Structure formats: C-alpha cells, structure tokens
Amino acid sequence: MLRFDLEYEYIGKGLVPVVGVDEAGRGTWAGPVVAGAVVLNINDLPERLRLGLNDSKKLTTTKREELFQLLINTATVGVGISSVEEIDELNILQATLLAMKRAVVDLGLIPGMIMVDGNHLPNWSYPSKAIIKGDRRSPSIAAASIIAKVSRDHVMADLAEDYPHYGWERNAGYGTKAHQLGLVEFGVCKHHRRSFKPIRNILGI
C-alpha cells in the first residue's frame, strides 16, 4: 500500500465532494483516451481499498479488476471518453482534457474540489488542483487511475473481437511487437490514431 499524503485529500476541506481525476491511453497507437473521476468517502474506506489503492500501473491486472469492481460498488464513479476522431482533430492533450470533463459530468454531482493527475487542468469553473504524480499521492486520484485504466482495457478488449490482428486485448493499443506485426500484415484500421507518428509513417503522410 502507498503511504498517501492526505493533505491532497483535504485541500477541499469544507468544499465537498472532493473528486480525483486521471486518464488512461494517452500514448497508445489505437483506441480512445479514457478518463476516470472518483469521489471516495476518505474517512470510511473499505479495508480492501485502503490497503490496495495504488497507481494503476503498479497493480496486476487481477488486482486492478478487483479494485475496479470494489470502486464501482462503493464509490461515486464517472467515466469520460474521447474518440480516435477527436484525438486526431483536437490533439491528444486536448482530447484528454475533454475526456476528463466528460468523466466529471458523468459523476452526476457538482464537485467542491477536483484533483487532477499531471500538470494540466481542463477549462472548467470548479476549484481544482493539478498534482504531479498524483496517482501516487492521492487515494482519490489513484482510484480514478484504476477506473480509467480498467474501463479502457475493457473497450480495447471489445474492439479486439472485431479487429483480432493487433493483440489489443493484451497490449491495449500500445505499440508492442505484436501490434507492429499486425500493422505490417493487415495495415491501419479505423481505430488507429492517424495523428500519431508511427501510424502517419505507415500511411506515408
């Protein structure tokens, strides 16, 4: 378990609820970018969450899935998605910020304070703070990272059923060897990000 610095959880003291926000899929060659937004009852976390929450990249697939289900059942959760078309039109940073805004809207409540992983904030009117390495410092952001990662993995696994040549159910759209080999043999499909250099190079644009 990480030793979270709860000062980040209480920066919104008196302004409730406090929301953690994170994203998954910024660096992949295919598929959408997905953001998660989570409101935890920080004073009454289930023990499995209290002991298990961590940056989603530090967790096994099995542990992420377990914590994902626990968060769905015990926390207030929102998910936001920006499509490949939006990524190519807006650029990946702006599409990511748009997905974050959609995740917060999906919560169905008015935030008192939002903590966002990283150093960029969406253009919104809520009190908010960008926190570098926030998924290692705030349990709410760590929870959001799990929601974003698992939600996106599920999307990519679904896409892999119709596009089985790229190994997306295993690599989630990242540029692994299997993905590269699939591109060589089968080419680019509609779910690839044409604004990304590896895909542009294949297309010759």
pLDDT in tens, 59-69: 899 999 999 99
Please report whether residue 74 resides in a domain. Answer: yes
Q: What is the pLDDT of residues 49-62, one digit of tens each?
A: 877 888 788 889 99
Q: How far is CA 96 from CA 54, 105, 153, 160, in A?
A: 21, 14, 16, 22
pLDDT at 1: 43
Q: Is 108 left (phi over 0), alpha (psi -120 to 50) or beta?
A: left
Please report whether residue 28 resides in a domain. Answer: yes
Please report whether residue 75 resides in a domain. Answer: yes
pTM: 0.93
Please report whether residue 82 resides in a domain. Answer: yes
pLDDT at 42: 76
Domain of 54? 18-162
Please report whether residue 52 resides in a domain. Answer: yes
Domain with residue 122: its CATH number is 3.30.420.10
Please report whether residue 10 resides in a domain. Answer: no
Place of tokens 């995740």: 103
Q: What is the pLDDT of residues 130-141, one digit of tens each?
A: 999 998 889 999
Place of tokens 């009454």: 44
Please report whether residue 167 resides in a domain. Answer: no
pLDDT at 161: 97
pLDDT at 53: 84
Please report whether residue 51 resides in a domain. Answer: yes
How many folded domains does the chain comprise?
1
Walking along the chain (205 residues) 10 residues at a time, the average pLDDT comes out as 61 72 97 97 80 84 95 96 98 98 96 94 94 91 96 98 97 97 96 97 90
